[in-house]
Amino acid sequence: MSESVPIVGIDLGTTYSAAACIQKGRPQIIPAAGGQGIIPSVVHMDRSGRVIVGRDARAALVAMPNRTVAAIKRQMGSDKKVKLGDKEFLPQEISALILKELKDAVDNLLGPGEKEAVITVPAYFNDEQRRATQQAGELAGFVVERIINEPTAAAMAFGLYNMQENRNILVYDLGGGTFDVSVLETLGGILEVKASAGNSLLGGEDFDWLLVNWMAGILKERHGADPLKDLKAKALLKEEAERVKIVLSREEKATASLPVVMFHKNKPLGLEAEISRKEFEEMIEPLLQETLNKVRDALTEAGLEAENIQDVLLVGGSTRIPRVRELLYEIFQKEARKDVHPDEAVALGAAVQAGIKGGNISKDEMIVTDVAPFSMGIAVMDNSFGPNAREGRFSVIIPKNTAIPASRKDTFCTVGDYQTVASIEVYQGEHRWVENNKHLGKFSLEGVPPAPAGEEKIVVEFRYNLNGILEVTAKCLSNNKSMQVVMQDALSRFAREAFQESATSLEALWKNAPGEEEPQAQLDIDSYLDDEDFTVEDKDHQAMEEEARVLLKRAKKLKSAAIGLKRKKLLDIIDLLKGALEGNDSDNLAGAIDEATDLLIDVDV
């Protein structure tokens, strides 16, 4: 891609979304229609078939709930369609409509033409959710070459001005629909993620629905009517719940007041009920405690205690709830930082990543390393049941929170007499049995010499890089027969027909967009898709340079404490990467990265 193509950062949130870019060396939010910095992640389709996104769509949520969709982020990665008006859409198509609104704002500021985007996702999004997010961005007209984790992005927004000290940072990200926590370390210009944990189905939306159930319970008790069975009444209660929650973040009491919620037996039913902050906190306490359990998990996996954390960053609108600060203070015995905007930090951090990638921020100013959010491995036979061996045990090859890029391998044996094919099924997750984890793909290694069960050995190697690309190799040791497959969080994993169908559907909507006289340009499907489910794509040279710099920084860091043979290996790695970076040969650079990754695995254990 040409270096002249603008690169922006995008926070595609459950409740609000925003785009940002680097201007005069600093990340800035790009104003959307009407001048708002962030827009509600709400989509409405009016009766003429026009799509409206943002504040006007949010205003229609109560009046026309059957024509409006909110909180679609919670359904990303699902193939279940969502009804919008008289049409149905996949979750990534709804998200594409939100991103198109941001794309228009970006074009308005930076001019028309091709734009690249760095889009953020919760750290605990799985492979399917990340792929759906990337597809949404491509459908909206962006070229999406990087997906980064939201807590990492928030830490980048903070770290841009705080890289001079060695510090441990905990990012507590409680948004509208998801919760993430990440532990990071700043050291010598490196922002290194040590561990992440979270729940992609826990957030402010859950607090709202607890309040909705409380209000609905009052109406049932007083009038014997269930407002949750009435679509408009339910939408009214949801809107009032959000207002009450916000009031309780600054006041000790709030009143839920709705003159008319619904009609029951031809009579209007209203609601007037008071709730205290203490009552609300008791209501949401179990959910908040669940987030603290994740905080403790992340600390444990990072090998740190609470007292080792120098800075606590709060991200996401739900962190404005006073009880959140109180609970975190009890753990860390320090106030959370207030110099990070909870609603804008993720978008600003994504802009920092975009600035590094686009050359607007020096690559030497900040190098970011991340971790694998989930364990990755294969399905194997479990022989612990004796003669009743069970298929489908999950054998982890790359554990969660492994620093990436990473390379790991394990050796397995055949399970059947004289079998000539080894089936490799790849999964992602933490459960012992693969049926409870996410299936990423499968392939077969043919040509295994027929032999009694257990005699033939198969080495399975996983290589996982900064762009979320997982390369799996299976090799039979006795005859060196091997097969390699690349599975990646890329649009190419979606079928051509499905993407084309989505693109065509959305183009028809954009032709009807308010204020547009010309139809949107045809999406270049062929530039985004390949025919095969598993493809090996040419690596982007700029992305490889970034990966090489990360490896170089890590090698330099390890060298300071290494002795003997380990130190010599690290010096070799440093010389190898420096030489490759000085040249401009992509093949040499790719080879150096592969060799350096293997050497680093040997010394960093």
Domain spans in the chain, listed from the N-terminal domain onward: 7-163+343-361+497-527, 204-281, 376-489, 541-603
Is position 585 annotated as part of the catalytic site?
no
How far is Cα 116 from Cα 377, in angstroms, rounded to an integer?
32
pLDDT at 386 (0 to 100): 57
Residue from 407, 484, 538 nearest 145 by CA: 538
Counting as low any pLDDT under 70, the low residues of the chain are: 1-4, 163-164, 363-365, 384-388, 467-468, 488-499, 511-543, 598, 600-605
Dmax (CA) for the chain in angstroms is 86
Is position 150 annotated as part of the catalytic site?
yes
Is position 11 annotated as part of the catalytic site?
yes
| DSSP-based three-state secondary structure for 516 | coil
Catalytic residue among 116, 128, 145, 173: 173
* Fold entry, domain 376-489: Substrate Binding Domain Of DNAk; Chain A, domain 1 (2.60.34)
Is position 602 annotated as part of the catalytic site?
no
The CATH architecture one would assign to domain 7-163+343-361+497-527 is 2-Layer Sandwich (3.30)
The CATH code for residues 204-281 is 3.90.640.10
Distances (CA, A) of 303 to 201, 294, 389, 400, 460: 26, 14, 36, 14, 29
* Strand bridging mode 438-446 / 421-428: antiparallel
Q: HSE-up of 546 (CA within 13 Å, CB side)?
A: 26
The percent of the chain in helix, strand and coil, each rounded to the nearest 5, is 40, 30, 30
The H or E element containing residue 152 is helix 150-159
Same fold, 7-163+343-361+497-527 and 376-489: no
Catalytic residue among 93, 150, 192, 547: 150
Residue from 448, 439, 375, 462 nearest 415 by CA: 448
pLDDT at 372 (0 to 100): 86
Q: State pTM to two decimals.
A: 0.78
Residues recorded for the chain? 605
* Contact between residue 446 and residue 421 where contact means Cβ atoms under 8 Å apart: yes
pLDDT at 388 (0 to 100): 66
Q: Three-state secondary structure along 50-92?
A: CEEECHHHHHHHHHCHHHEEECHHHHCCCCCCEEECCEEECHH
Catalytic residue among 11, 93, 192, 546: 11
Kindly indicate whether the domain formed by 541-603 is annotated with CATH number 1.10.405: no
